Structure 1
Amino acid sequence: MNARFTRFALVAGTVVVTTLGPSVQAQALPACASNAICLWRFQDGTGELYTWRGGYVDLPSRFTDHVGSFRANRTGAFIDWASGKECHSVRRGDYASNYSGRFGSKIDAVGDNC
């Protein structure tokens, strides 16, 4: 009887520790409109929002080289014109909560494809 109780206590303790243990979750980006790519000025989907829905568009000056995060609900392309044309394709489902240290510090335009 004592061995059975000990096993039960160990299993119950493991379940409690697993369930209540520390949980680290990434900051979720806000929702983005269907069939659009959303760009935010700052990381984690904060700051001003720019929503792109298709076609070639030069970004507003406040977004040029200053995209902190994005979420893609369609395909598209991020374009940098600083030294020729550098282009990064984006697929539906792509996102970045901290994009400013990457291509977000270079992006000048958004288009349908490279």
Structure 2
Amino acid sequence: MRTRHLRTLLVAGAVALVSLTSIPPAQALPACPANAICLWRYQDGTGDLYVWRGGYVDLPSRFVNHVGSFRANRSGAFIDWATGKECRPVRSGDYASNYSGRFGSKIDGVGDNC
């Protein structure tokens, strides 16, 4: 009887510990059209959306230095012109749900390659 009670307490403790330390799953980014790179103003694919499909473009002013998340369904490059040309290549399948603290705070344009 004592062993059974101890086992029940151990299992309950383990379940409580797991539920307290579980990390909620990251929110999935919204879909992005085929052969495009989608940029969102805020993290987790929220806010204004810009869809890039090829060629070099300067980003609309509301996206310059303010890309919070992205999903790439083609290759391309994120470009910053602030101190010359700084470039980050992007491949199909790349994504970031929170990009604003990284290169998303520098992006000025998107192109086919660096």
- Partner letter of residue 100 of structure 1? S
Tell me how far apart the structure 1 counterparts of residues 38 and 106 of structure 2 sit (CA, whole Å).
16
Answering whether residue 60 of structure 2 is matched by residue 60 of structure 1, we say yes
Tell me how far apart the structure 1 counterparts of residues 34 and 99 of structure 2 sit (CA, whole Å).
21
| Runs of 5+ consecutive residues of structure 2 not aligned to the other structure | 1-11
Deviates more, 1:24-33 or 1:61-70: 24-33
Match of 1:88 in 2: 88
Deviates more, 1:23-32 or 1:43-52: 23-32
Matched position secondary structure for 2:44: helix
Quote the offset at 1:106 in angstroms.
0.2
Quote the offset at 1:24 in angstroms.
3.7
Tell me how far apart the structure 1 counterparts of residues 109 and 103 of structure 2 sit (CA, whole Å).
12
Tell me how far apart the structure 2 counterparts of residues 83 and 65 of structure 1 sit (CA, whole Å).
13
Percentage of matched positions with identical amino acids: 80
User: TM-score when scaled to structure 2?
Assistant: 0.81
* Deviations, residues 8-38 of structure 1 (Å, cap 9, x unaligned): xxxxx9xx99xx9986451100000000000
| Runs of 5+ consecutive residues of structure 1 not aligned to the other structure | 1-12
Answering whether residue 78 of structure 2 is matched by residue 78 of structure 1, we say yes
Tell me how far apart the structure 1 counterparts of residues 90 and 54 of structure 2 sit (CA, whole Å).
13
- Partner letter of residue 105 of structure 2? S
User: TM-score when scaled to structure 1?
Assistant: 0.81
Match of 1:103 in 2: 103
Match of 2:45 in 1: 45
After TM superposition, the runs of 4+ consecutive aligned structure 1 residues lying more than 3 A away are: 20-25
Matched position secondary structure for 2:38: strand
